Structure 1
Amino acid sequence: MTSAGRFAPSPSGELHVGNLRTAMLAWLFARSTGRRFLLRVEDLDRARAGAEAQQLRDLTVIGVSWDGDPVRQTDRGPLYAAAIDRLADAGLTYECFCTRREIQEAPSAPHAPQGAYPGTCRKLSTAEVAFRRSVRPAAVRLRSSVTEWTVQDAMHGTFTGVVDDFVLRRNDGVTAYNLAVVVDDAEQGIDQVVRGDDLLPSTPRQAYLASLLNMPVPEYAHVPLVVNADGARLAKRDGAVTLGDLAAVGIGADAVRRMILDSLELPADSLESALGAFDPAVLPREPWVWPGV
């Protein structure tokens, strides 16, 4: 399978300029290295009617193209189940009955990193598991043997982050993001992951999980976000930030694309023209403050 990069939006609403900027960067990273560029719809949670079609239209008009048909996580349940079964067969999972509140209020395990799951359900007896099953459904957690893991990132260099007994399948039966993304990337031949740097802290968990599943760890590039004037991550509450809202105030898709490429200090005529000048080593490392309209 030839190598590939990808963009993987969640269809929870319209893409804003921060999402579009990340998509354009993922496209530039992939195309500049001769990779295929794939689109995956991460619709396991928060899918809104019509959002996927709108997102695909917005990506097209901004100049982002992809190879093959988009895939949807909701069509890939058997792949996720098989991966969890493999981990379970190796003794690397356990059932967890904790509520979010119980986790927040539980004392941390000795020497555990801040924010790590405290291991409340890790050593439940068979009788305790049976009783708790009668009270509420279980999530499935990874039985981790490490507390941290190190990854290499094209934008951030060496990064070491927390690895705890994170959830693989929620108690409502939905596959957790960290498991799904690892399985999807490996199955699709994605060996380059470009995404917002707000996702960097979860990356060591994913790389560690890939190692347990004997799946390849991709090359990572976590790119700066777009932020508002207060330095907070851009959101739809910040005014006209989607292509639809910007068009309503007279700013078309071509103009938005030029603004994004200008923010990256790249030729702004088209994505193709930017590709010829693209060099990850000289990309801005700081967030782009959205100027607003």
Structure 2
Amino acid sequence: MTAPTPVTAPRETAGDEPVIVARGLQRRYGHGRDAFLAVDGVDLEIRRGELFGLLGTNGAGKTSTLEVLEGLARPSAGTARVLGLDPWRDRRRVRPRQGLMLQTGGFPADLTAAESLRMWTSTLSAPRPVAEVLADVDLADRAGTRISSLSGGEVRRLDLACAIAGDPEILFLDEPTTGLDPESRARAWGLIGRLKARGTTIVLTTHYLDEAESLTDRLAIMHHGRVVREGTVAEVVAGHPASIRCELPRDVGDLPALAGAVERTGARLAVSTSHLQQDLSTLLRWADDHAVTLSALDARAASLESVFLTIAEGDPR
């Protein structure tokens, strides 16, 4: 196993200085009655050295938002500023200072991993050594392997290598660990953590909620083109109800009074509550007093997953 290569020297950070700002950002596809508003008035502010997560279901507008911030697309309305510049109009000035990992890379199948990365670094103004970057993403032993013979996870790691090859100030990662096995995913997390530790500002989209919980300083959840929750994981989860679920015997009569909202469908009982300990204790005491068995009992505090699923299943407004 190749030891992780140190990711260059720490860069200076500037506290809470915002390096990415979006105001009223919109992105529309098509024209007239057939137009589709993929991004609908998004406001974001991302600070220097922060690892910011952008979450949402498929079609929520994450990638469309990211492409505007990356300078790959012009906003239909609103403004975007990256490092104080317009990422679309000032792309020549912004591009050398950012790294992009798109959802797909598109390497020529006949080139080796090292040749592909070398070809990419030839377009950069100050590239890091190819061997060093391959070691960072655990591909040193696959340097001479053709792209056609790499696994999907290895190709994804090569995408990541291209994104970090220029030692960027800002790194955009669009679903960086999709297709990786658990070990490779853990290593990618380690590399992302080392990049953040040296002051790199990172914007990450992911469908893995555990990844968002483990890596991000703050995150935003998008739904139907809008940001509907934003903050730290604790702030996003705060105020969201806990849940109690179980199955009751069908002949059970009235339930005890609970603080939360009770939904009973046949044998199934679901309680949504902001007083988990109180309601769970009440329910258990009632079950003991009435010799009732609570089958498949499950009690859970609010989590990022429960918030995400509630948003995904709810009214887009």
Q: Identify the structure with the greater strand proportion.
A: 2
Which category of TM-score, normalised to the shorter sequence, fits these structures?
A: 0.3 to 0.5
TM-score normalised by the chain length of structure 2: 0.31
Which is higher, the Rg of structure 1 or of structure 2? 2
TM-score normalised by the chain length of structure 1: 0.33
